Every structure is written in structure tokens, then in C-alpha cells.
Amino acid sequence: MGAAAEDAVRQLGILMDQVDAPLRRTFQNVHQGHPRETMLRFLKAREWNVSKAHKMLVDSLNWRIENEIDSVLERPILPVDLYRSIRDSQLVGLSGYTKEGLPVFGIGVGQSTYDKASVHYYVQSHIQINEYRDRIILPMLTEKFGRPITTCVKVLDMTGLKLSALSQMKMLSSISTVDDLNYPEKSETYYIVNVPYIFSACWKVVKPLLQERTKKKVKVLSGCGRDELLKIMDYSALPHFCRREGSGSSKHSSSNADDCFSPDHPFHKELYELTNQQSSHKELLKMGSLHVSIPEPDPNDAKIVEVIQAEFHKMGEQNGSTNGHKV
């Protein structure tokens, strides 16, 4: 890393030493003993502008305090049937690790329906996965490999993506905004697999709007992406939807132990058991969903969402005029 970047980290470190005690406490939960790596992420997200990175980081820490994010792993989603419904409609899970030790998260973009609970539960579940990754999994890997491991790899399965996904845009935008502003630069690479025409058409329009550092992270793979992914991970770490051509992300295509989306997968069972154990230490169990305030999206990100919506509408109109009915 260059001298300018090191100087930016030093300057940001000086500013962070001056924040008040509550912010310092929650910052410790964020950096998990590696403040430099955390400051680097926020600096990258703001193109190495120290004052903007400082504001972003302080805003994020205030957001954590206001929404009690530090205790989110003490808030199990109850009853368990509701949790299982969320897992069945918000398809995400840890499938394994790359050869370099980075966690591999599979995400079923095309078949997630987000229709079994309120938006608050889905945001809560997403944040719990983020916090479990950052406070449990990454520190464990850091200790195992003897070097800071602070990022992950995501494999996005587009199987089943339809024009009706437009109705999920608000939900996806909310989750994306939470990540962009509070968990920046956490993903090394986004691998996109099982790509239908609808994604290809939108990608051509959206790609030029992305920042260069974001474009470099996105890799659209052929088919299920198995051969390319095996260059960076073993077969056992592949998400189930990448293990054979045409497998898709059907929840019935593999056993629950292999299906990283399943609530019976070891990752989800361990996370849920942890939240239950943590909550049992409290005198009063907080019931209901966690109502997290969604920060305002970056104007550039909002523009990208608008472009995707417009492109979906255009394809829907073309499909309607071609087939004689609306999609």
C-alpha cells in the first residue's frame, strides 16, 4: 500500500481517537481488534477522502447505537417457524471457504421471494448474518490463518429471475443500503452464475454506471460457474447450485446438509442457536422484529436502482407486446 494510503489511515486514526466513549465501544465491536483494516474499508468506500470516510464511519457507529446493532445477536427471530419461513424466502447461506480462507456466501437472488414476513424481519435476519460473519466467523478465521481475514466472497445465483422481481426492488434496495453504508468493502468478489437473459440485458445498462472498483469485483460466469470457482475453492465449498450444470438453486435439489439456504444447514443452525443462547442470558427476552432505520441511499446507488426498474419495465412492455399479455 502506498504512502498516501498509509497517511490517510493515520489521519483517520487520529480522528477516531477523538470520538466519544459510546462510539469507541461500538467501534471495537466493528473492528474486532483490527481497527486499521476497518478504517481501510471506509477509506476505500469514500475514494480515500479522509473527511468523508470519517463522516461515513461516525454515521455508521451512531446508526449501530441508535438501532442496538451490538445486541442484534441476542434477538432470535421467534417463533422458530417464522425463522424457517424467512430462511425459505430469503435465500442466503455460508457454503464453505476459499483456498485463501475467505468465507463463501451463496445468495439465491432469482428465487428469493421475501413474502413470508415484514421487511423488518428480513433486514434483521440480514444484519444478524452480517454480524455473525464479522464477530464470530472472521475472527475465527483470522486466528486460524494468523493474518487478518476481514472480507468474504459472494456467489449470486440468478436461477429463476423474472420480471416480477421488480416488486422486490424496495426490499433489495433497503438491504443494499444498509450494507453500503455500514458494511462497506466486505466482499472481495461477486460471482454471478446461472444467468438468464433478463439479467444480461440489465447488466449491460447498469455496468457503465458502477464505480470502477465495483465493476472489478463483479464477475459474470458461464453456466453454474463450477469450473471457474474451483480455481479458488474446493468442490466441498461450492454452493449447491454450482455443483452441476442445470442444477439451479431449487431447495429440493440437494440434502439439507448441503443446501446452504436451508435452516437445517450447520451455518444457520449454529447462528440460530447462538442467538437463542445469548437471549437466555437476558432477564427479559425482546419479542418482535427489530425495527432498524434504513439510511438514505447514496444518490448514485439510487440512480442505479431507477435504471434497473426502468429496464425491467421496458422488457415487460416488450414482452407484453410480443406475447399479447403482460408479464
Alpha-helical (H) ranges within 90-165 are 119-132, 138-145
Query: Over 60: is that where the pLDDT of 98 sits?
Result: yes
How far is 130 from 73, CA to CA, in rounded Å? 10
Distance CA 309, CA 302 (A): 11
Reported as a single tens digit per residue, the pLDDT across 104-113 is 999 999 999 9
Distance CA 243, CA 285 (A): 41
pTM: 0.89
Q: pLDDT category, 287, cuts 50, 70, 90? A: low
* CA pair distance 121, 77, nearest whole angstrom: 8
Q: Domain segments of the chain: what residues?
A: 3-67, 77-244+256-268
Range in 47-61, 76-90, 142-156, 236-250 the model is least confident about = 236-250
pLDDT, tens digit (0-9, with 9 covering 90-100), for 259-273: 999 999 999 999 999
**Residues 121, 86: contact at Cβ < 8 Å?**
yes
Per-residue pLDDT tens digits for 60-77:
999 999 999 999 999 999
Q: Looking at residue 318, what is its pLDDT?
A: 66
> Same CATH fold, 77-244+256-268 and 3-67?
no
What CATH class does 77-244+256-268 carry?
alpha beta
Which CATH number is associated with domain 3-67?
Answer: 1.10.8
Sign of CA dihedral 155, 178, 152, 114: negative
